[in-house]
Amino acid sequence: MSQLPPPDAAFVQVRDLKRVFDVSKPWLNRVLEHAPKQYLKAVDGVSFDIRKGETFALVGESGSGKSTVARMVVGLLPPSGGTVSIAGISMNDVAVAQERQRMRRRIQMIFQDPYASLNPRWRVGRIIAEPIRAFDIIEGEGDITARIGELLTLVGLHPDDAKKFPHEFSGGQRQRIAIARALASNAEFIVCDEPTSALDVSVQAQILNLMRDLQQKFGLTYLFISHNLAVVRHMATRIGVMYLGRLVEVSEGKQLFSAPRHPYTRMLLDAVPDLAMVGKAREGVKGEIPNPINPPSGCTFHPRCPLAFDRCKVENPAVIDGVACHAVNGDRAAAA
């Protein structure tokens, strides 16, 4: 039996989460070329909490590990290390398999490409009914049909849309269908991986507003992933910034934009035209992301960091008060 979490505990607790991928060449090539096995640390010791009813966003450049974190949080990918617990139930402890199964119903994921995540051969009604049937949420075809109509109306579509196929809808409408399906299982926690990145800007705003309305209506908790800081600012209560598999800063949404602390966060914000202050010389994001198979030593951001000093090359900074940086945490003086 799992113990009940303390009443003030975070709804989602992620601790020291790690994921290593074996990216070695095939065995025969390795033997012929005398090449060693190669491993890629996609996620390297990530910890964060998500409170009930909030939107926690993960941002970072492409390849920083955002989707890998998301897939581990919902249980689509086993971690190489660390833990995820949701409402006090460990998502990787075999001893609580039954409780975890019940928990699965309460967690849903929305992906970037709604067309790929909706079965093109199924009518929308069947797509939305799938979780209702799989989890035995409602019995009786009449009641299921009524619920499908209700869900379609909730996301701004018409009950008659249940009879159509996904290809008959626009990208934004398909994302509405994906949201209706996520709500069909009475989900409480929704992990959204770049949910609006494939949509036109005007449609993006409509979908984001719909997600916020639904959050207020049902008290939903979101893990919201995006590389777009303007979108994140619109949505997030708190924001975690990822760089090469590590979380380098976690701040309240407003604070991150008004007073970014980590040099990488400052670089990211500086690169967004509509966020930085008018009249200020813009620096932009400098340099390339290093190869994650062979990352830089110490703080992996040091080759791009304007504040880097000797210690940064040898020691990975610990996260202190939400920031992983020797300079910000005042260690520069101590190291000198």
Ligand X SMILES: Nc1ncnc2c1ncn2[C@@H]1O[C@H](COP(=O)(O)OP(=O)(O)OP(=O)(O)O)[C@@H](O)[C@H]1O
Q: Which residues bind ligand SF4 (CB under 6 A)?
A: 263, 299, 301-302, 305, 307-308, 312, 317, 325-327
Nearest alpha-carbon partner for 211 in 203, 200, 222, 202: 222
In whole angstroms, the minimum distance from the beta carbon of 177 to Mg ion comes to 21
DSSP string over 218-285: HT-EEEEE-S-HHHHHHH-SEEEEEETTEEEEEEEHHHHHHS--SHHHHHHHHT-TTTSPTTSPP---
DSSP string over 63-131: TSSHHHHHHHHTTSS--SEEEEEETTEESS-GGGHHHHHHHHTTEEEE-S-HHHHS-TTS-HHHHHHHH
Could you give the string, one character per residue 58-77, with x where binding to Mg ion holds by CB under 5 A and - elsewhere?
---------x----------
In whole angstroms, the minimum distance from the beta carbon of 9 to ligand X comes to 27
308 binds, among Mg ion, ligand SF4, ligand X, none (CB under 5 to 8 A by kind): ligand SF4
Residue 237 CA to residue 42 CA, distance in Å, equals: 25
In whole angstroms, the minimum distance from the beta carbon of 68 to Mg ion comes to 8
Q: Which residue has the tokens 């101590």?
A: 334
Task: Return the residue of 17, 42, 220, 236 that touches ligand X, per CB under 6 A.
Answer: 42
According to CB under 6 A, which residues from 48 to 77 bind ligand X? 60, 62-68
Closest to ligand SF4 by CB, 127 vs 241, is 241
115 binds, among ligand SF4, Mg ion, ligand X, none (CB under 5 to 8 A by kind): none
Count of C-beta atoms within a 10 Å radius of residue 326: 25
Task: Return the residue of 17, 40, 199, 308 that touches ligand X, per CB under 6 A.
Answer: 40
Which residues of this chain interact with ligand X, rule CB under 6 A?
A: 21, 23, 40, 42, 60, 62-68, 227, 292
Which residues of this chain interact with Mg ion, rule CB under 5 A?
A: 67
